Structure 1
Amino acid sequence: MGTDPGLRRLALRTLLAAFPGSAPPDWALELLRDGLAGYTLFGRNVRDPDQVAACTAALRAARSDVLLTIDEEGGDVTRLAHATGSPYPGNAALGAVGDVGLTRRVYRAIGDELAALGINVNLAPTVDVNSAADNPVIGTRSFGADPVPVAAHAAAAVAGLQAAGVAACAKHFPGHGATVTDSHHELPTVDVPVQVLRERDLPPFAAVIAAGTRAVMTAHIRVPALTGDGPATFSPAVLGDLLRGEYGFTGTVITDALEMKGAAAAAGGTGPAAVLALAAGADLLCIGSEVDATLVERVVDEIVGALDDGRLDLARVEEAAGRADDLAGWTRTVVDAPPADGDLGYAAARRAVRVEGVLAGLGTTPLVVQLLAASTVAEGRVPWGLGPHLAGAELLPIMATETDPGALRERAAGRPIVLVGRHLHRLPGARELVEALAAAHPVTVVEMGWPSDWRPAGARAFLTTYGASHANGRAAAEALGLAG
């Protein structure tokens, strides 16, 4: 006896899947015809604008109201520009500039680009308040550490995206900014009273709800006072009582990827995670990035099985599918785009640069040393640094833990050294290397990650970009007088 076709279609209407390659395979199109809500596009689906437009057109031909989502935050998280780095600075840089009008314009430009390619939901902005300087997954994706300006920029970002006809999805509710572990790899815990969340983490969510955000994304974090031992994604207290009840959100609740360890490990797999998320009040389930037809059918079978055995209520799943349909209906609005400003992101990145100390004396001959650092899953392997923007300066990539300061001084041969890194205060070996060099050599430091209070003694200058996008790299090279 097979799966009930009506229940299978209902389950599919709550799912966001993914597929490999630059064009949708036949199984991906067939799932849309069967009722699948939509797909999330990743860097591996993106080759160039014409290809992306052809890809989304093929998906839309299979289902006209398909939801096509993407993580296009600007800054360090980009899918469209994964091969080069984003032409827009990210949230930390926009927060450093402090111009909410600029934030709105940048997000409008991102929205216009997505709309032109046929993408109708942006899994952005990140509205988490980055209160933990060592946060390994949010950092420069946040507008800052103060909830008041973060709330203002978050609302402006939502307004900019949705003015382009692209639905915003504010993330990660109830706030991922105080975590010091990455929910892609484990379940982080934020062990604070609910009142702390209301004062520190929740004001930006209140602001985006007031601004009309069409969607909110859940966080795979544990807040014992609210969620007990499980993540917020599985918590009726978080999604029902807090988000829907206290904050009055009526739009679509989208989960973070259910393949992430913060969800899948807590539930015993992606299928069980889907059931728990739906039962808690989520509407649209991101299965993950490594998806095939078999995984989709396995999740569908789990949902249908839960409907059969009483773990899920039919009315709850129908409500979820209805909210996914409502989101798709809103995104069918056609909006005229203003003329594109190709320098908008670069001009914004220039305004974000902060310089402490003196930059004089670099000329065009310094040794530029880039301290290699791993990328998070959210960021992916996107190029970063000053390399593409240098005119004449030598670039040397190194591992901080494998480099001798004396050997670097010999390599510099009397030239000043520019040290470029991300999150230098917590990069293994970086602090020791920078301080040893600065004690005996002219050194300028460029911090392209989330800045800490650490400043290396003896450094001539410390330059902060608040992000590592292509735009941030160009801005730093220009500030140093090294740009071509």
Structure 2
Amino acid sequence: MPDHLSTLVNSCLLPAYGGATPADWLKREIDDGLAGIVLYGANLGLLDGRLRELVTGPLRAHRSDLVIALDEEGGDITRAEYHRGSNYPGALALGVVDDVELTGRVGAAVAADLIEAGISVNLAPCLEICPGTDLPVFGTRSFGADPARVAAHARAFVEGVQRHGVAATAKHFPGLGSTRVDSHFELPVVPTPEDRFRARDLVPFAAAVAAGVQAVMTGHVAVPAIDEAPATFSRRFVTDILRGELAFDGVVISDSLDMRSARGTLGFGGAAVRAWAAGVDLMIIGPQDGEQICAEIRESARRAVADGVLSLARLEEAADRVARLRELTGSPVPPDDDLAEVGLTAARRALAVRGAAPRPGERFVVELRPEPGISCGTVPWGLVDALERLGAPAGSVLVEPGTAAGSLAVPDGVPLAVVARTEYADPWQEAVVAALLADRPDAVLVDMGYRDLPVPAGTTVLKTYGAGLVNAVAAAELLLGRRWAGAPRDLPGLA
């Protein structure tokens, strides 16, 4: 039989499930107070866009005020449009345009899509400051390098999302932009002095809190100048700085506890207990099926309370904050404005042409296909599909990692477009691009990544600042000399 402690713990958990549709165990845990779920690419890739029909509709029929959360950053990171690519540019493209009113409209359009899909909490935006291209962990997910600019766009995006009853989440507090390590695999350490860190990395979070952001996600990152403990487990960061100095009174959400930088030797239960004790309210477990993990966490919490390591009052405080979040997001109101084309408008404005403007017309496309990052997943991306839907390319070849440039069959006499996407120095892509441009100096490089690929002087480069569907459509329009009327998701062949 469920008891008070079990229900309290459940009310502070956001597990995932395996497969396309929610498992039966989830409904049992929801009946015992489970806060809700997080949806991942592993679920959404199986749904072919039928998210409300197969997942959120049935879950809300069971319990209407559930937290149903996912990452909808736009650009490279999309979950609601995992089956086709994002209809909105990501943070870096918005920062390049630097129009906060436009960023707010993109946030409102994202909220409209999430309301339609039955999502109540958006695990976005990223508020990382990325000081340079030698720090590629967040890349196109960051609004940029300037704290004031990142803060302004963070505020605009948060206000745009939350104006319509969807909660935004400022992440990953206190900021991982100055790291070279992905926290999925090991603990990043930021060696910045405290005064510099406060003047740079904390500025966007202060702006988001001032804008009324309803959730803040902790990052698994250590800043030794402030605390040796990772932020998710740091009372100094969560309670003293975020709650005390920044006066945040919403829900503090952990980044996924399945990451090596969090779970480590503690296990899920130990990590959750340590995070609750630091002041975190709501635990994201990770993309694994969570039935056994939830049971492990409940048992660890029971032992911690019995041993005096974790107080019942701390869990009750966390549960109260989560309950308030559920109430605040229980009655979303879609925007009245027609925002269908705002994403494409933003992507067009972000698109940069370096060198001579390309002459419009069909092109043979050589598209390099590096392995996707763990955060992006297997979202469709690239130029070929967008060109095909706007007017077929003259042919294409998709190039897998490790392929030698000399082995590519590229026809003569046909204009050439080369597509690449790098977040960090990638010798393979650099070598292939260099060889292709040496052989075909008239080629256009469509650079969809964060880091600029080195090219010879005079090369025409289209820089999209992201690899979302909308970024590809903006580049395809310029190459073909024709515009699509409507939203990218309405292109022929896109469900």
Alignment of 1:53-92 (within 5 A): 53-92=53-92
Query: Where does residue 28 of structure 2 map in the other structure?
Result: 30
Query: Where does residue 243 of structure 1 map in the other structure?
Result: 242
Query: Where does residue 480 of structure 1 map in the other structure?
Result: 479
User: How far apart in 1 are the matches of 2:423 and 2:59?
Assistant: 43
User: How far apart in 2 are the matches of 1:93 and 1:424?
Assistant: 14
1:91 partner amino acid: A
User: How far apart in 1 are the matches of 2:380 and 2:2?
Assistant: 47
User: What are the Cα deviations for residues 34-68 of structure 1, in whole angstroms up to 9, with x where unaligned?
Assistant: 01111111234332555424522322233332111
With structure 1 as the length reference, what TM-score do the two structures score?
0.94
Query: Where does residue 205 of structure 1 map in the other structure?
Result: 205
Alignment of 1:6-405 (within 5 A): 6-46=4-44, 47=47, 50-228=50-228, 230-265=229-264, 267-361=265-359, 363-364=361-362, 366-390=363-387, 391-399=392-400, 401-405=402-406
Deviation at residue 424 of structure 1 after TM alignment: 6.7
1:428 partner amino acid: P
Taking a change above 3 Å as real, the CA distance of residues 132 and 183 of structure 1, as seen in their structure-2 partners, is: farther
User: What are the Cα deviations for residues 75-100 of structure 1, in whole angstroms up to 9, with x where unaligned?
Assistant: 11111111110111111111111111
1:152 partner amino acid: A
2:370 partner amino acid: A
User: What are the Cα deviations for residues 206-248 of structure 1, in whole angstroms up to 9, with x where unaligned?
Assistant: 11000000000000111112231x3110111110111111111
Per mean C-alpha deviation after superposition, the further-off stretch among 459-468 and 103-112 is 459-468
Judge conservation of contact 1:425–1:431 (CA < 8 Å) in 2. Answer: no
User: How far apart in 2 are the matches of 1:177 and 1:239?
Assistant: 18
User: How far apart in 1 are the matches of 2:261 and 2:6?
Assistant: 27
Judge conservation of contact 1:235–1:280 (CA < 8 Å) in 2. Answer: yes
Deviation at residue 459 of structure 1 after TM alignment: 5.1
Deviation at residue 445 of structure 1 after TM alignment: 1.4
Judge conservation of contact 2:127–2:142 (CA < 8 Å) in 1. Answer: yes
User: What are the Cα deviations for residues 125-184 of structure 1, in whole angstroms up to 9, with x where unaligned?
Assistant: 111112242444411111111111111000000001001100111100000111111111
User: How far apart in 1 are the matches of 2:131 and 2:199?
Assistant: 12
Taking a change above 3 Å as real, the CA distance of residues 64 and 424 of structure 1, as seen in their structure-2 partners, is: closer
Judge conservation of contact 2:364–2:393 (CA < 8 Å) in 1. Answer: no
Judge conservation of contact 1:218–1:232 (CA < 8 Å) in 2. Answer: yes
- Secondary structure of 1:208's counterpart equals helix
User: Quick one: percent identity of the two aligned structures?
Assistant: 44
- Secondary structure of 1:140's counterpart equals helix
User: How far apart in 1 are the matches of 2:32 and 2:263?
Assistant: 25
Deviation at residue 303 of structure 1 after TM alignment: 1.2
Query: Where does residue 422 of structure 1 map in the other structure?
Result: 421
Per mean C-alpha deviation after superposition, the further-off stretch among 219-228 and 84-93 is 219-228
User: How far apart in 1 are the matches of 2:360 and 2:395?
Assistant: 12
User: How far apart in 2 are the matches of 1:340 and 1:65?
Assistant: 27
Taking a change above 3 Å as real, the CA distance of residues 360 and 285 of structure 1, as seen in their structure-2 partners, is: closer
Paired residues, what number? 476
Query: Where does residue 436 of structure 1 map in the other structure?
Result: 435
- Secondary structure of 1:216's counterpart equals strand
2:472 partner amino acid: G
Taking a change above 3 Å as real, the CA distance of residues 389 and 65 of structure 1, as seen in their structure-2 partners, is: closer
Alignment of 1:447-466 (within 5 A): 447-452=447-452, 455-458=454-457, 460-466=459-465
Taking a change above 3 Å as real, the CA distance of residues 458 and 255 of structure 1, as seen in their structure-2 partners, is: same
Deviation at residue 324 of structure 1 after TM alignment: 0.9
User: How far apart in 2 are the matches of 1:124 and 1:424?
Assistant: 20
User: How far apart in 2 are the matches of 1:150 and 1:222?
Assistant: 21
- Secondary structure of 1:446's counterpart equals strand
User: How far apart in 1 are the matches of 2:96 and 2:185?
Assistant: 29
With structure 2 as the length reference, what TM-score do the two structures score?
0.91
Taking a change above 3 Å as real, the CA distance of residues 438 and 51 of structure 1, as seen in their structure-2 partners, is: closer
Judge conservation of contact 1:444–1:459 (CA < 8 Å) in 2. Answer: no
**Unaligned regions of 5+ residues in structure 1, if any?**
none
**Unaligned regions of 5+ residues in structure 2, if any?**
485-495
